[in-house]
Structure 1
Amino acid sequence: MAVSLSAAVLLGVLVYVLWRYAGVSLWHIVICALFGFYLSSSTVGPHIANALHSVAIFLSRLHF
């Protein structure tokens, strides 16, 4: 739960920065959000969630 919330906040900030400073139109953002909802409800959704969870575990084990 905490990882998905952190990822959602990070991606939300990234989308805002792209919209504000890179000139991405609002329509592109809406289409990408709709595609994300569609993708998460498909059969690929659990695989994507597992991959993101594995990346989060890998990053948490890194020591700088």
Structure 2
Amino acid sequence: MTVSIPLVALLGVALVIALRFLGLRLWQAIVCTLFGFLLAATALAPDIRHVLTGLMDLITGR
């Protein structure tokens, strides 16, 4: 996926906003981050990447 770095940056900004303004606690953010790393190592990772690529193609009009 060619937009992976901007997508990671966007999700990082969303995480910071959630921490500061939505009352997300640090331990909850850590659990979500660890879940993401573990999910990336499962057999579902290619399917998730395929869905994200399809969504980005839909948004960008490719």
Both proteins in one fold, TM over 0.5: yes
Where does the alignment leave 5 or more consecutive residues of structure 1 unmatched? none
TM-score using structure 2 length: 0.93
Q: Show the counterpart of 2:8.
A: 8
Residues 3-22 of structure 1: CA deviation (Å, up to 9, x unaligned):
11111000000000010011
> 1:2: Cα distance to partner?
3.6
Where does the alignment leave 5 or more consecutive residues of structure 2 unmatched? none
Q: Tell me which amino acid in the other structure corresponds to 2:55.
A: V
The CA RMSD measured in Å over matched residues stands at 1.3
Q: Show the counterpart of 2:50.
A: 50
TM-score using structure 1 length: 0.90
Report the identity percentage.
32
